[in-house]
Amino acid sequence: METKSVWFTRVKVLCVSAILASIANFIFTTKSGSPVSPLESAPGLLMMFAIVVVGCLIQEGFKKYLKVDLPTIVYISLLATVCSIPGFMPFAEYMVAEFGKMGLLPLCTPILAYAGISTGKDVDEFKKQGVAIICVSLLTFLGTYLGSAIIAQVVLKMTGVI
């Protein structure tokens, strides 16, 4: 796939994700009692959009020129972290305030929808793996749930909440 086509697809996906995230954030914040309109969340989403695009550019540059092939999320996370350090970047406080208007769960909604669509197209691959994939998935979910419950129980007991 040529670079222009890849970037066009990336930008389209990012725009749709931003729109869905702003709608999901509005619904989420309305239910919590302090609604944040899609227009209010636009600056934060635009900054997130810019960070993702710059992170993708950095990843492509490192891969092409330095032959370093790390996942794109490494560059995006590092860039977002550096940009949000107070005093290091002049816009850090503004960025943190705008990101604070967004909930984590609404941001995950488009990602999870995309993952579901992506998984749906690989159903034939899942069928080839048979019952084993179901057993592994169930054990993974069970282990994650039990591990989280045990950690929560220990921390809540230690802090005196329960």
Dihedral sign from CA coordinates of 21, 27, 32, 36: positive
Q: CB 28: neighbour CB atoms within 10 A?
A: 19
How many angstroms separate the Cα of 124 from the Cα of each of 115, 128, 129, 130, 141? Answer: 16, 6, 9, 10, 22
pLDDT of residue 1: 55
pLDDT of residue 127: 75
CB within 8 A of 18, min separation 6: which ones?
45, 46, 48, 49
Tell me the backbone φ, ψ of residue 71, rounded to 5 degrees.
Answer: -60, 145
Q: Which conformational region is residue 89 in: left (phi greater than 0), alpha (psi within -120 to 50 degrees), or beta?
A: beta
Mean pLDDT for each 10-residue chunk of the chain (162 residues)?
83 89 91 90 94 94 92 93 91 93 84 74 75 84 91 92 86
Domain residue limits, the chain = 3-121, 123-162
3-state secondary structure of 86: strand
pLDDT of residue 2: 74
Residue type, 1: M
Residue the block writes with tokens 């592994």: 136
Distance from C-alpha of 38 to C-alpha of 41, rounded to nearest angstrom: 5
